Amino acid sequence: MPSIETTNAAEPRVLVIIPAYNESECILATAHKIEACGYDYIVVNDGSKDDTLSICRANDLNVLDLPQNLGIGGAVQAGHKYAQRYGYDIDIQVDGDGQHDPSYIPKLVEQISNGADLAVGSRFLEKTDGFQSTFMRRVGITWLSWWIKLFTGETVTDPTSGFRACGRRAIDLFCKNYPDDYPEPESLALAMKTGLSVRETSVKMLERQGGQSSIGGFSSVYYMIKVSLAIWIVCWTHGKEA
């Protein structure tokens, strides 16, 4: 890995990006699930302070070790640059905390193969029995969905979802420009305002299988203010490209 050869030219080359910061509790299980599905992957160790890196190396996982913590945006962008450098057609972001079920990856790939530039796995597009997040986070998600629609005219039911697929145009865009903190809603707005096609597909998600979320308490208030302002700025600065 990375595999440079492909036996079927019609099949897109897919890379799974696993950003990981202090995910020692579940990174091995997450990587093994993706391996079992037959996908190339790269664990992007974002300067973890726990045993994430040593676990990856001890188990021969394909890992890109960042020398310092860049945040989720920097880690994901590093994955996009890896995908671009090695010529992948599609890359898939799968969180290292075990929330995302790799069995839904083909649905995301299908959206890209059918013309989408960016495909988002949504918990809310259809009613499922999967994990729906906490009440307060659902309120925040509803707000961000409305805010994005206000500025772009497009509806995204799950704008904070980190379970996403990018085609070549989105990979190229995000290699050049990707938000640093809490990047999912802002990058959706960026993609839409630069003319990329964004679609959703229904997925089930699990509760976090280990580690701790970076959003909680006062940080959730900061998150909403920061992301709302960032979306407004992105849409204002890229308005002429829409």
Cα distance between residue 95 and residue 230, in whole Å: 22
pLDDT of residue 130: 54
Tens digit of each residue's pLDDT (9 = 90 or more) over 35-62: 999 999 999 999 999 999 999 999 999 9
Which neighbouring-strand residues pair with 201? 121
Q: 61 CB contacts (<8 Å, ≥6 apart)?
A: 27, 28, 31, 43, 55
Give the mean pLDDT of 215-223: 63
pLDDT of residue 131: 62
- Please indicate whether residue 116 or residue 131 has the higher confidence score (pLDDT): 116
User: Can you say how many angstroms the Cα of residue 39 is from the centroid of all Cα atoms in its chain?
Assistant: 16
Yes or no: say if 27 and 56 are a contact pair by the CB < 8 Å rule: yes
Tens digit of each residue's pLDDT (9 = 90 or more) over 164-217: 999 999 999 999 999 987 899 999 999 999 999 999 999 998 875 444 555 444
Give the mean pLDDT of 82-106: 96
Give the mean pLDDT of 148-176: 97
State the pLDDT confidence band at 134, using cuts at 50, 70 and 90: low
Q: 202 CB contacts (<8 Å, ≥6 apart)?
A: 107, 121, 122, 125, 126, 128
If you average pLDDT over every residue of the chain, what do you get?
A: 89
Q: Other CB atoms closer than 10 Å to residue 142's CB: what's the count?
A: 13
What is the pTM (predicted TM-score) of this model?
Answer: 0.88
Amino acid at 184: E
Cα dihedral value 24, 30, 36, 37, nearest 10: -150
pLDDT of residue 135: 66
Tens digit of each residue's pLDDT (9 = 90 or more) over 6-35: 445 578 999 999 999 999 999 999 999 999
pLDDT of residue 163: 97
Yes or no: say if 241 and 194 are a contact pair by the CB < 8 Å rule: yes
pLDDT of residue 211: 46
Kindly give the interhelix angle for 218-237 and 135-152, rounded to the nearest 10 degrees. Answer: 10
